[in-house]
Amino acid sequence: MPRGRYAPSPTGWLHLGNARTALAAWWRARAAGASFVMRVEDLDGPRTVQEAVTGNLEELRWLGIDWDEGPDVGGPHAPYEQSQRGEAYARALSTLSAQGLTFDCWLSRKDLREMASAPHGRAPVYGPEQRVANDRVAARKQREGKTPATRVRLPPGPVTFHDGLRGEVRADVARDAGDLVLRRADGAWAYQLAVVVDDAAMNVREVVRADDLLDATAGQVALYHALGLAPPGFLHLPLLLDAGGQRLAKRRGDLTLRALRDEGVRPARVVGWLAYGLGLLDAPREATARELVAAFDVTRLARHPARLDADALAWIRAERRLDSGGTPR
Ligand code: GLU
């Protein structure tokens, strides 16, 4: 039985790009008659906005998405909050350590940045040069009372995975990313490990998410292999961009579902426009999420980013409800 999931990080309110991913994942699962899992990725304690943990679930319900398992409804794979799943991550780490694949990394982010000749914005590759530097500083940092991060050294060579839009994708983790962090020096579990352990434990057979995570996928697939687990299939969606061509970002406070709801926007307008942007409708029209399950068709999915320009926003904001307390302009 196929199972789908959406995994919000409660670092703020969900924006329209998050909504687009959540809807696509939900449509994909529901169109296949699959169950749907909601998992809260609240791994990063300092970045978690407590109000957003349940707030994000409310935003998704407002869109018309439902789930069979999740933090608020329970299920056979509970807990569904990553902050509660540390034991599972520790077990996976032991499995990797028992194979001699993990090591202590004493290099700080600053150390790595200073060594990096990587192009701006990309995490530097952790390779032979970094390993040598790590060995050089280990004893001193230990004396200074520093704590190390834990990294995994994955077997070299290419990994392949299946992507619903791209077909077979091939990538080389050692070359593109190097040794991955599994646990940060402050004790926080890394997304790369948690997402693999959880999707496997929750029996998610296809991961639908946005293109910004495509580069992380090969590392995750290599981790599945190292843990002796079968990787799922993937479907990476093109991003939703703003009028200026930038991807939406929570920290900019971009167009959150909550703000749209508060100004009286109809969820049917949000859903209908996002379905149109995904290529599932020929023109935007008001629709409920459930109505569009039957319209979901992978072969229709757009291969290029959607642009949320002024016309699109005007369409979404039209016909606002006056009884919501919002003040339509
Ligand atoms: N929690 C991640 C995010 O909100 C998504 C992770 C994933 O889908 O693998 O960006």
Whether ligand 1 lies within 6 angstroms of the CB of 256 is answered as no
Q: Is 250 a catalytic residue?
A: yes
Confidence label for 323 from pLDDT (cuts 50, 70 and 90): low
Using only C-alpha atoms, the chain has a radius of gyration, in whole angstroms, of: 21
- The whole-number pLDDT of residue 252 equals 76
Report the nearest atom of ligand 1 relative to the CA of 209.
Answer: 8
Q: What's the 209 CA to ligand 1 centre distance in angstroms?
A: 7
Spatial distance between the Cα atoms of 267 and 20, rounded to a whole number of angstroms: 12
Task: Please choose, from the candidates 241, 234, 239, the residue with its C-alpha nearest in 3D space to the C-alpha of residue 220.
Answer: 234
- Cross-strand partners of 247: 241
Counting from 1 in the atom list of ligand 1, the atom nearest the Cα of 41 is: 1
Task: Summarize pLDDT for 10-55 with one digit per residue, the tens.
Answer: 999 999 999 999 999 999 999 999 999 999 999 988 999 999 999 9
Which residue has 């032991």 as its token pair?
94
Strands 158-163 and 35-38: unpaired
Integer CA distances (angstroms), 85 to 71, 77, 227, 230, in order: 12, 10, 17, 20
pTM: 0.94
Cβ 24 under 6 angstroms from ligand 1? no
- Cβ atoms of 67 and 38 within 8 Å: the answer is yes
CA-to-CA distance for 303 and 311, rounded, in angstroms? 21
182-208 per-position pLDDT tens digit: 999 999 999 999 999 999 999 999 999
pLDDT mean over 76-87: 98
Report how far ligand 1's centroid is from the alpha carbon of 299 (Å). 24
- Rounded Cα gap, residues 125 and 112, in angstroms: 9
Q: Considering only CA atoms, which of 304, 250, 300 is closest in space to residue 27?
A: 300
Cβ(287) to ligand 1 under 6 A?
A: no
